[in-house]
A and B are shown apart, each in its own frame.
Chain A
Amino acid sequence: MSDRDAVTAQNVVKAFGQGKASVRALDDVSLTIRKGEFFTLLGPSGCGKTTLLRLIAGFEMPTSGTILLDGQDVTDLPPNRRPVNTVFQSYALFPHLTVRENVGFALKMQGRKAAEIDDRTNQMLALVKLETLAERKTAQLSGGQQQRVALARALAPQPKVLLLDEPLSALDLKLRKEMQTELKRLQKETGITFVFVTHDQEEALTMSDRVAVMSAGKLQQVAPPRDIYTAPVNRFVADFIGETNFLAASPVPGGMRLGCGAIIAATGDGPVLTIRPEQVQIVPAETPGAIPATVDGLVYLGTDMHAHLRLSDGEALTARLPLPPGGDAGLAVGDRAAVTFAPGAARLIRD
């Protein structure tokens, strides 16, 4: 425990239900989130990420384990006595209050002076650029504007940690991109620790300082986005983050032997061989040292193209090809080709 830590979870277990019907939403999770960090909990639905967030907020009490905020044990404190605020997935804005009253709500509940509430509310409205809508009721706002109100409302009392529960999932793609940038800016400007829950891996990779990948109530890997992507620790993380080719292979002297007989060099340790599609290069069919393959299918993605290949033993392999101007990769379904892998691209990981 150091004073650089904003949130610490120690051996947290959360079970729902009784006896045999009980389900472990969180299974012995230990985690440290540092001050000023943009920390993301990433995983598929039902992985326990929202439960962990709700435990930090105080909406749920852990079955066992301890939660510390800023070095203080808050495990038994109700939400209104924890120095954290939440941006809810549904925003949960108060429909009977104006934007201004929503933003000032927490300060009013804390019994701050009217002048202080006014000042702080104005600052927050400026921060999220909503000054002109301050006197509106929240139902009159667009989704993006409601999102900003929810942010301003949660930031107004200057929490030690801001919890964000999939706040962007209700927005359309363009607005979501805008809000991602906006969130990063807010986090930099306020210096507040953000704990962000999402199932969108791209969102997690672009915004976070560190990402915790969760599955089935357990932490799979906690690392900066780049490590998560380039060095996933196990099959789940490799599969969930981005796209990956999993190839059957057996260790032989000098590398790994694929099903088609080719032997390639691989780094890492474990039984599963992975290669990211963008690390697969397609070369002319008779290139020496390349592994022969046939083109099974082509999927045009705009920025690039996915080529679904088949190796000589029938194993599938996907390659991601950058497209030249004009968008023609020079490949057709049924073409014979060959593939090579960039050095270090083939990685062995745990199952």
Chain B
Amino acid sequence: MSRAEDKQARDSARNGWLLSAPALTLLTFAAAGPLLIVLVYSFLQKGDYGNVIWEFSLDGWVGILFSRDIFDGTLGLADAHLTIFWRSVKLSLLTTLITFALGFPTAWFIATRPPTERAGWLFLITIPFWTNLLIRTFAIGEILRSEGLVNSALMALGVIETPIQMLYTDGAVLVGMAYVYLPLMVLPLYAAIERFDMRLLEAGYDLYASRTQVLRNVILPIVRPGIVAGSILVFVPSLGAYVTPRVLGGGKNMMIGNFIELQFGQGRNWPLGAALSMTLLVIVTVALLFYVRAVNRGASGGGHG
């Protein structure tokens, strides 16, 4: 490399850093700072009225899985906590599946419209973002509650005699989350399908593949990056969801997010809340690593099977 080239390379590297400096600074303080505080708090003792006592303790971390018996002080497995973890993971996975099942045909439909019409359809997809999440969630609650739209209609039609309990169930949380996160699945899927070369469909049919075979062997492997991106975008916020389970699930059907809030509020157990937050972070990281591996395998190994 000549001296001029060398200088040019150094300049462009320095300019790159300079340009990204504001964002990097913000990220460092806004993301790493609080995270560090949470990490430190998780290793402290809880104060009686919230807050923390600055003494090292593993109680917060132990409390994730075990609870101390009120009377004899022995440690036992905290079933309630495990139920909450399991419910969170289960509902998040189901939400991802449902949004994929609904989102894929939608994204396919939009991507196969004439180019001039696509923007209009995408615009429709983004309409839910215009209203506050809380308001939308309460609106779903209105529809699902015992005197709500669905029950009234069913009763008026004579299908049922007494209202079905729909609000404050896992089902209600699932409906709410699927609704809220559907656009996050549709948009990356659309981006992937829009790039998909439709001529490959004809090639597939020509080479004796049936419709299902074309879907499995041609379409899905090729749009896989979009599926992975959409799944991450839905699964990760689902796992930490707070508003939806709070409003539609009630106090009984908590997810991790509500459980964490509880520790910082009524529970007055900040170290446990902090430890739970870190646990959530670990679960998300593991899930992401799993996804990334899945993508890489798809990219290098032929992506079928």
Contact = CB atoms under 8 A, between A and B. Distances in A.
Contacts of A58: 205-206
Interface residues of A, number: 28
A268 interface: no
B200 A85 contact: no
B210 interface: yes
Given A96-B222, A98-B302, A106 B207 contact: yes
Nearest to B303: A96
Contact of A92 (B199, B221, B303): B199
B218 to A, nearest CB: 6
B200 to A, nearest CB: 5
Interface in A176-193: none
A109 B302 contact: no
Given A101-B302, A109-B213, A109-B217, A92 B200 contact: yes
A148 B218 CA distance: 20
- Among A80, A86, A157, residue most surrounded by chain B Cβ atoms (within 10 Å): A80
B205 A79 contact: yes
Nearest to A54: B202
A157 B302 CA distance: 21
Main secondary structure of the interface of B (DSSP, over half): helix
A97 B302 contact: yes
Contacts of B302: 96-98, 101
Nearest to B298: A96
Given A96-B303, A97-B302, A105 B199 contact: no
B203 interface: yes
Interface residues of B toward A: which range? 20 to 34
B197 interface: yes
Interface string A74-99: 00001111001110101011111110
A80 B208 contact: yes
Contacts of A81: 208
Interface in A82-135: 84-86, 88, 90, 92-98, 101, 105-106, 108-110
- Among B202, B207, B218, residue most surrounded by chain A Cβ atoms (within 10 Å): B207
B209 interface: yes
B208 A86 contact: no
A104 to B, nearest CB: 10
A59 interface: yes
Contact of A80 (B210, B218, B303): B210
A88 B207 contact: no
A92 B202 contact: yes
A57 B197 CA distance: 19
Contacts of B207: 80, 85, 105-106, 109, 153-154, 157
Interface in A262-287: none
Nearest to B207: A106
Interface in B284-305: 298, 302-304
Given A101-B302, A109-B213, A109-B217, A94 B208 contact: no
Contacts of A157: 207-208
6 contacts: A94-B200, A97-B304, A108-B217, A109-B210, A109-B217, A110-B208
Given A101-B304, A108-B217, A109-B210, 7 more contacts: A79-B205, A80-B210, A92-B203, A97-B303, A106-B209, A154-B206, A157-B207
Interface of A: 57-59, 78-81, 84-86, 88, 90, 92-98, 101, 105-106, 108-110, 153-154, 157
The 9 closest A-B CB pairs, nearest first, are A106-B207, A92-B203, A79-B205, A109-B209, A109-B208, A96-B221, A92-B199, A86-B206, A80-B205
